[in-house]
Amino acid sequence: MAGFRPQDRELLTVMELALIESSRPAQIKLFTLAQLKAKITRARKYWDKYRTLARRQHRTNKTDPGSDRSQPFSNVRTERKGRLFAEALTQFEKRLAQIQRRDQPQKTRPRTKPSRTGTDPQAAQRASLRKRKQRREAAADSALTTTVTRQFEKSKLRAIQGHIRASGARRQGKRDSK
């Protein structure tokens, strides 16, 4: 890792140092997918921790009226730790992407059925357009049916329509009897 310096060993705990050193190219290739995901989780946790701590220290130093606006050494160390974990996290994520690309099956184009229309390209185009139109109509019908059904369920229109239908039948019966 290009950003790691020997002086950085003093900044880190043993666990943090082990995590940073495991992000080096020679060691990162030995991890399984599960181990890599665990390391990503730990690196992200440390990165968040030191990033928020650096922000908090920066705000504290900024609002302190007695300070000369210079950044104290502790804040520089905290920011350095945050950068180290950000670099380690980047390395782990790159390796994870490589493994996932490698393990992903190659996508092949599905085989198409031979056209029944023969060699006439215009007939094939007409058949294709006809199928497309049928699919559109079927989708529109199902969407309309779904919408109407929802409206009936929401407003109890079915019960109301039953009463209207019955009153219509009664009126028709009166007309027919005259």
- Asked if residue 50 is part of any domain, the answer here is yes
Q: Is residue 166 part of a domain?
A: yes
Annotate 111-120 with b (16+ C-beta within 10 A) or e (fewer).
eeeeeeeeee
114 part of a folded domain: no
Highest mean pLDDT among 86-90, 133-137, 147-151, 170-174: 86-90
Say if residue 16 is in the same domain as residue 83: yes
Indicate if 77 and 162 belong to the same structural domain.
no
Please report whether residue 55 resides in a domain: yes
> What domain range is 38 assigned to?
6-64+71-103
pLDDT over threshold 90, residue 165:
no
Total number of domains in the chain: 2
| CB < 8 Å & 24+ apart, contacts of 36-41 | 36/92, 36/95, 36/96, 36/99, 37/96, 39/92, 40/89, 40/92, 40/93, 40/96
The pLDDT value given to residue 109: 66
Summarize pLDDT for 65-79 with one digit per residue, the tens: 665 556 566 788 889
pTM for the structure as a whole:
0.53
